[in-house]
C-alpha cells in the first residue's frame, strides 16, 4: 500500500508546532513520520523524552514513525543490534540505518522480537543490499529508502536513482524517497536548500515532484523531507499521489472555447498503446465528441508540451486530444488549446502507453 509521510525534527522544534503539523497531515491521508536521531547533544533524557512525546501523538493518529539513526548512536545510547527494545519503548515503528553495518547485523535486526521495521539506505550504489539479502533477512520487516540532500546540486541524478532503485526493487522490498516543500525551512542540519532525493526536484512544486515519482512507478512511499509544508502542499501531494489518475497541469490559451475546456478538463484520458514519437493520443474523447462542432481555432504551429484537440477539418479524428512530444507543423486541423505548465513538460518522458490521466487547470509560473 502506498503511504505518504512528513518529517519532524523534535531536537529543533517544539511539541505544539509538531503536533499541529501532524494533525494537519493526518487529515490529508499521511500515515508515515520520518525523524532524525543521528546524534544527541545536551541532556540525553530530555532529548529522548521530546521524541517519545511526539511519537506517541503520531501513534494516536495512526501514523508510524521511523527514526533515522547511525551506528555511533548505538554506542551513545548503549543499544545493541541484538536488543532494540530502546526504540520499541520510544514508540517507534522502526529505525532507519543512515550508515549500515556488515549485512549480518541488519539481517539479525529484521528478526527482532519487537516487530520493528529495519529500513536501509538505497542511495549509495554499492552491493549493500545484495550482502544483506545473502544472510536471508525477514523481508517483511526490511524497508529501504533513499537519502535526501540539503546542499544545492548534491541530490542524486535520474540515472543513479534508476540504477540504485532497481537494485532494491528486484527483491520486492518496500521503498521510499523524499520530496521537498518549497516553504519548509527546518531539517536535521542548520543549513539546507530543500530536502529532496532527486536534484532535479529541488525547485519544483510538490505536485510536479510527486507526479514524477508516480509516473516512474518504482517507489512505494513518498515523504516530505523538510518541515513545515503548507496546508496547500499537503493537499496537493495527497491529491497527486493518492488520486485514481495522475494529473497534468495545463495552462489554457486565452481563446479556448467552453467546449474545448470541457473536453480537456472534464474527461478521463488514456494514452493509446500504439505510441507515436510525435504525440500522446487520447482517442476516447473523439468517440464521445464525434458529433460536436469543433471549429478551427488557434491552429498555430505546435510546440512540445502543447495540448491540442483535432477540429472539424480532421474528419474521423475530430475530438481527439493530443499532447505534443516534439515540435510539429499544424495543417489547420489541430486546435492548440493549452500548454503543459513549463516545469512539468519533462514528465512526458515518463508516461507509459495505456496509462490513464487527467488535466487540471493551472496558471504557469
Provide the number of structural domains found in the chain: 2
Residue ranges in the chain modelled with pLDDT below 50: 365
Q: Which of 203, 226, 243 is the last residue of a domain?
A: 243
- Are 213 and 254 within one domain? no
Q: For residues 237 and 326, state if they share a domain.
A: no
Domain endpoint, select from 209, 243, 277: 243
- Is-contact 306 326, C-beta < 8 A? no
Do residues 282 and 237 share a domain?
no
Residue-level pLDDT at 75: 79
**Residue where one domain finishes, among candidates 243, 264, 282:** 243
User: Could you tell me which residues come within 8 angstroms of residue 52 by beta carbon, excluding any fewer than 6 positions away?
Assistant: 89, 90, 91
Whether residues 65 and 209 share a domain: the answer is yes
Q: Based on the domain organization, do 76 and 94 belong to the same domain?
A: yes
Question: How far does CA 332 lie from the centroid of its chain?
Answer: 39
Report the Cα 174 to chain-centroid distance in Å. Answer: 14
**pLDDT, tens digit (0-9, with 9 covering 90-100), for 132-172:** 999 999 999 999 999 999 999 999 999 999 999 999 999 99
Full DSSP string of 39-91: ---S-HHHHHHHHHHHHHHHHHTT-EEEEEE-HHHHHHHT-BTTB-HHHHHHT
Give strand ranges (E) for the chain: 4-8, 32-36, 64-69, 94-97, 117-121, 142-145, 174-179, 221-224, 247-252, 269-270, 279-282, 306-310, 321-324, 334-340, 356-361
Q: What is the pLDDT of residue 365?
A: 44
φ/ψ of residue 263, rounded to 5: -60, -40
Structural domain for 326, as ranges: 248-361
Residue with cell 532527486: 198
CATH of the domain at 169: 3.20.20.70
- What is the pTM (predicted TM-score) of this model? 0.95
Each residue's pLDDT tens digit, 6-34: 999 998 899 999 999 999 999 999 999 99
Q: Is the dihedral of CA 142, 72, 69, 165 positive or negative?
A: negative
On whether both 34 and 122 belong to a single domain, the answer is yes
* pLDDT for position 318: 97
Using the CB atoms, write b or e for 68-78: b if 16+ within 10 Å: bbbeebbeeee
d(CA 286, CA 294): 11
Say if residue 227 is in the same domain as residue 273: no
- Please indicate, yes or no, whether residues 237 and 333 belong to a single structural domain of this protein: no
Cell output for 326: 516534439
Residues 31 and 141 in one domain: yes
Q: Are residue 218 and residue 73 in the same domain, yes or no? A: yes
Asked if 223 and 7 count as a contact pair (C-beta separation under 8 A), the reply is yes
Residue 343 DSSP label: G
Tell me what pLDDT residue 44 has.
73
User: Cell for 283?
Assistant: 482517442
Cα dihedral angle (325, 283, 239, 142), rounded to 10 degrees?
A: -80
Same domain as 144, residue 67: yes
Based on the domain organization, do 189 and 253 belong to the same domain? no
- The enclosing domain of 297 has a CATH number of 2.40.100.10
Amino acid at each position: 500500500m502506498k503511504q505518504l509521510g512528513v518529517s519532524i525534527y523534535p531536537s529543533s522544534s517544539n511539541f505544539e508546532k509538531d503536533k499541529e503539523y501532524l494533525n494537519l497531515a493526518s487529515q490529508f491521508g499521511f500515515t508515515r513520520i520520518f525523524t532524525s536521531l543521528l546524534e544527541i547533544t545536551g541532556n540525553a533524557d530530555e532529548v529522548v523524552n521530546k521524541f517519545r512525546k511526539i511519537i506517541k501523538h503520531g501513534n494516536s493518529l495512526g501514523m508510524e514513525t521511523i527514526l533515522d539513526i547511525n551506528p555511533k548512536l548505538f554506542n551513545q545510547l548503549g543499544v545493541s543490534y541484538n536488543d532494540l527494545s530502546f526504540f520499541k519503548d520510544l514508540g517507534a515503528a522502526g529505525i532507519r540505518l543512515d550508515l549500515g553495518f556488515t549485512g549480518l547485523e541488519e539481517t539479525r535486526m529484521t528478526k527482532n522480537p519487537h516487530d520493528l521495521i529495519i529500513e536501509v539506505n538505497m542511495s549509495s550504489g554499492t552491493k549493500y543490499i545484495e550482502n544483506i539479502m545473502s544472510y536471508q533477512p525477514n523481508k517483511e520487516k526490511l524497508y529501504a529508502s533513499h537519502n535526501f540532500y540539503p546542499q544545492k546540486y548534491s541530490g542524486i541524478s535520474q540515472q543513479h536513482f534508476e540504477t540504485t532503485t532497481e537494485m532494491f526493487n528486484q527483491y520486492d522490498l518496500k521503498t521510499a524517497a523524499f520530496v521537498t516543500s518549497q516553504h519548509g525551512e527546518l531539517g536535521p542540519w542548520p543549513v539546507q536548500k530543500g530536502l529532496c532525493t532527486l536534484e532535479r526536484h529541488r525547485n519544483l512544486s510538490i505536485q510536479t515532484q510527486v507526479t514524477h515519482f508516480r509516473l516512474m512507478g518504482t517507489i512505494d512511499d513518498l515523504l516530505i523531507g523538510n518541515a513545515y509544508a503548507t496546508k496547500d502542499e499537503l493537499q496537493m501531494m495527497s491529491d497527486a499521489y493518492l488520486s485514481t489518475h495522475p494529473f497534468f497541469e495545463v495552462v489554457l490559451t486565452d481563446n479556448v472555447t467552453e467546449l474545448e475546456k470541457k473536453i480537456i478538463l472534464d474527461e478521463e484520458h488514456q494514452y493509446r498503446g500504439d505510441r507515436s514519437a510525435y504525440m500522446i493520443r487520447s482517442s476516447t474523447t473523439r468517440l464521445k465528441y464525434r458529433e460536436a462542432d469543433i471549429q478551427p481555432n488557434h491552429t498555430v504551429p505546435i510546440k512540445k508540451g502543447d495540448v491540442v484537440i483535432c477540429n472539424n477539418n480532421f474528419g474521423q479524428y475530430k475530438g481527439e486530444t493530443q499532447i505534443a512530444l516534439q515540435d510539429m507543423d499544424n495543417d489547420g486541423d489541430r486546435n492548440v488549446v493549452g500548454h503543459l505548465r513549463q516545469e512539468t513538460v519533462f514528465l512526458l518522458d515518463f508516461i507509459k502507453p495505456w496509462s490513464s490521466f487527467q488535466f487540471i487547470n493551472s496558471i504557469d509560473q
